[in-house]
Amino acid sequence: FLLSLKVENRTKGKLQKQICQVVLDHFEKQYTAELGDAWTSVRAVLTNPLCWQYAVLLNKFSQPAELENALHVKGYHPAFQGPLPCLPASLKCYIRRNPGRFPAQKHQAGKLKEYYLLNAASLLPVLALEVKDGEDVLDLCAAPGGKSVAMLQCAYPGNFHCNEYDDLRLRWLKETIESFIPDPLINLITVSKLDGRQIGDLKPELYDKVLIDAPCSNDRSWLFSSDVQQAVLRLIQRKEFPCLQVQLLRSGIKALRPGGSLVYSTCTLSKAENSDVINLILNSCSNVMPVDISEMAKAVSQEFTFLSGTQHHELLVLPEKGRAWGPMYVAKLKKM
């Protein structure tokens, strides 16, 4: 009871954060035009942290037997079931319908964490990438490290390169890897601080799989910008993201071997940063083609709500009450 009270109080603390009216007004205008009627239900979730949900990704390298039982008792069930095109048995993620958060574990040097708390939709890019044992993998914008950890739950890459250009986020990434990955495996991971736009030239055609979880407008956090000045700066910066995202995609494509796959993802609803970016790449790069991920979307449609009318190579997760996952945009490409 005390634990649930702490969790409830912590969640209430989040609600006390003020919604930034400047950002909300901007979103209201843009997303009413882009999402139509769907924006009303999405807005209700994004502006109310009390209804946000958190998934529990188990760490196969440090998993006590009683943890899954404890999750079942608290009403959690597996997030991914059924005929998914690529669902490794070693990837175990639990969710529940009710909002709230399982207690977080603190970082302790030399001790592995048992689970990672995350937005369940952020695992969809990992499932779409379909990493296999022995493949050379690049996580181009890897911090805070949740998707890197998830990929290592799925398979043992031959060469696993995690890159992050921002100093603060790089420290966060390193701490995440230390918290979840044991020593023998950690030695096989390369962590770098390179400009993602240059990796393609530095490491051409070196990887079988590339994940670009691109810097983007983070709709959830931006709605709670701490002051108006910060919010205005963010909205100005927002216009610059598509150019950066295209540059990162071009770099990731260069880093891919012919026949390799690339997954692009963001945590924004913005069409300019999602389908517009992918369409520009498909129209300007003759050596890439779209890959159909509609079967994956269909297989997880019980737990996730998707925007209708997207193309077969992309999906956009829309948060709604009881399924408050996302926003998460995912698109998959293959290099010819």
Q: Is residue 174 situated within a structural domain?
A: yes
* Euclidean distance between CA atoms 21 and 208, whole angstroms: 44
The enclosing domain of 175 has a CATH number of 3.40.50.150
In a domain, 282, yes or no: yes
CA–CA distance, 125 with 113 (Å, rounded to integer): 23
- Residues 314-328, mean pLDDT to the nearest whole number: 97
Domain count of the chain? 1
Active site residue 154: no
pLDDT tens sequence across 201-245: 999 999 999 999 999 999 999 999 888 999 999 999 999 999 999
> Does residue 88 belong to any structural domain of this protein?
no
Whether residue 114 lies inside any domain: the answer is: no
User: Within a domain: residue 203?
Assistant: yes
User: Residues forming the annotated binding site for S-adenosyl-L-methionine?
Assistant: 141-147, 164, 195, 213
Range of the domain at 197: 21-52+120-335
110 is a domain residue: no
Residue 10 is predicted with a pLDDT of: 47
Q: Which of 86, 154, 267, 285 is catalytic?
A: 267
pLDDT band at 86 (very low <50, low <70, confident <90, very high): confident
Q: Is residue 277 part of a domain?
A: yes
pLDDT tens for 115-149 read 999 999 999 999 999 999 999 999 999 999 999 99
Q: Is the pLDDT of residue 6 over 60?
A: no
Q: Which residues are annotated as a binding site?
A: 141-147, 164, 195, 213
- Reply yes or no on whether the pLDDT at 13 is more than 50: no
Does the residue 257 lie in any domain? yes
